[in-house]
Amino acid sequence: MDSHGRGERQEPENRQRVVWAVVGTDIGPMLLAATHDGLVNVVFHVTDSVREKTVAGLASRLGAEPVEAPGSPLLAEAIRQFAAYFAGELHDFELPLDWSLISGFNRQVLRELASGVPYGAVVGYGDLARRVGRPGGAQAVGAAMGANPLPVVVPCHRVVESDGGLGGFGGGLETKRKLLALEGVLPEPLF
């Protein structure tokens, strides 16, 4: 028996459980997925086809069939914090994160971004590369941002070009503009 009084046979199944829900936000529907270890995936602009592709990808990568469970305790705090963030009431996500969808240099860069670039601030791709000991690695940082499985929580929208350009963004440049406007970095879009 483990500390929760369950038999040992159940523990691996519980650890691998993947739950997901689609939540409405000011930038459109987002899919949040979590495991026993924490939030594992955040996906922008969820349509039926994006949802199907995401759920199939999670099943393949995590080895468990994801279950739609908007009421799951594994998602409750993430859903609450996303609502508070988009309402302008939360500046720092405090959620357990499951980093299993990313590894190596990309994980190193994203962890530095998550801990070192606060709400309302931005960092250049090259600056972030220097912070992780890869001066000249701006393109590699850009690739890491594109591979980020946890956007918003791991704030890849805060990484911009050194000349003031927005740079790329997996959720689309309009979404990046809206997130930076929400955080007070850019003026609110007129339309």
**Of 33, 156, 179, 180, catalytic:** 156
What is the spatial distance between Cα 99 and Cα 6, in angstroms, rounded to a whole number? 26
E strand intervals along 3-70? 19-23, 30-35, 38-43, 67-68
Q: Which residues lie closer than 8 Å to 184 by C-beta, 6 or more apart? A: 120
Total residue count of the chain as it appears in this document: 191
Q: Which residues lie closer than 8 Å to 27 by C-beta, 6 or more apart? A: 44, 86, 171, 175, 178, 179
What is the spatial distance between Cα 11 and Cα 97, in angstroms, rounded to a whole number? 19
The verdict on whether 107 is a catalytic residue reads no
Phi/psi zone of residue 143: left (φ > 0), alpha (ψ -120 to 50 degrees), beta? alpha
23 forms bridges with which residues in the sheet?
Answer: 30
Looking at the annotation, which residues are catalytic?
156
